[in-house]
Amino acid sequence: MKVKSPFLVVNPKSYLYGQKSLELAKAADETAGEVGIPVLFTCPFADLRLIRENTKHVIVCAQSMDPLTPGRGMGHVLPESLKEAGAEAVFLNHAENTKTLTELYACVRRAKELDMFTIVCADSVTEAKAACCLGADAVLAEPTDLIGTGQVADDSYTIDTVKALHEINPEVLVMIASGVTTAEDCYNVIRLGADGTGATSGILKAPSPAVRIREMAEAIKKAGEERGLL
């Protein structure tokens, strides 16, 4: 599974589920189809199939997974079950669900076996560099203490992080998202060199989450066009 730069991640975490999650996914799906950039939509495991079967354009993304193979593993999240349910991408090592280095490496390998796009989270540039070495498709480099604050990391953080990660792997996609709230935030991080961004509270707390998704996607597209990515 390949995801082109620039892209947007709509990440409701576990604030939405079932019908509410589907409603927002449909709005994101419409935006993805009309704006024409990749839009990833995360959802609880139980909603993956529901959303996949009712959307056409969004890339359905699991919130995590475990590195097991079919067989024993009661209570763990089997990668094959996610793929079968329609997940094309997976988040790994989010601050709310961290993994050991050994687990993370095994998960990235399992995802590659199933052609699933991996976004590995890191709360420091050092961790982000390690994620590059593990073979992640995209690295979400975000200071954990900024998540949900509405405070975006300063410009130098984005510029320096992109440079540092591309020195290790020029092909890795770099995602900057902590504190991203507005379309202007999205435009700025893509303009500064990031490949993707996204939000949770910035979308869910907006007067209209559907409108906010479209505003963000359009801002990302504009910055991508200015950089010659589109």
The residue from 88, 94, 215, 218 that is catalytic is 94
Q: Is 84 a catalytic site residue?
A: no
94 counts as catalytic: yes
> What single DSSP character describes residue 153?
P
Parallel, antiparallel, or unpaired: how do β-strands 89-92 and 117-122 relate?
Answer: parallel
Return the biggest CA–CA distance within the chain.
50
Catalytic residue among 30, 88, 142, 218: 142
How many Cβ atoms are within 10 Å of 34's Cβ, its own excluded?
11
For residue 65, which of 96, 35, 110 has the smallest C-alpha distance? Answer: 110
As a whole number of angstroms, the distance between CA 212 and CA 54 comes to 21
Q: How many CB atoms lie within 10 A of CB 102?
A: 9
Are the beta carbons of 174 and 194 closer than 8 angstroms?
yes
Contact 93, 130 (CB under 8 A): no
Tell me whether strands 89-92 and 196-199 are parallel, antiparallel or unpaired: unpaired
Which of 2, 73, 84, 99 lies closest to 45, judged by CA?
84
d(CA 230, CA 225): 5
Contact predicate 134/108, CB 8 Å: yes
User: Catalytic residue numbers?
Assistant: 94, 142
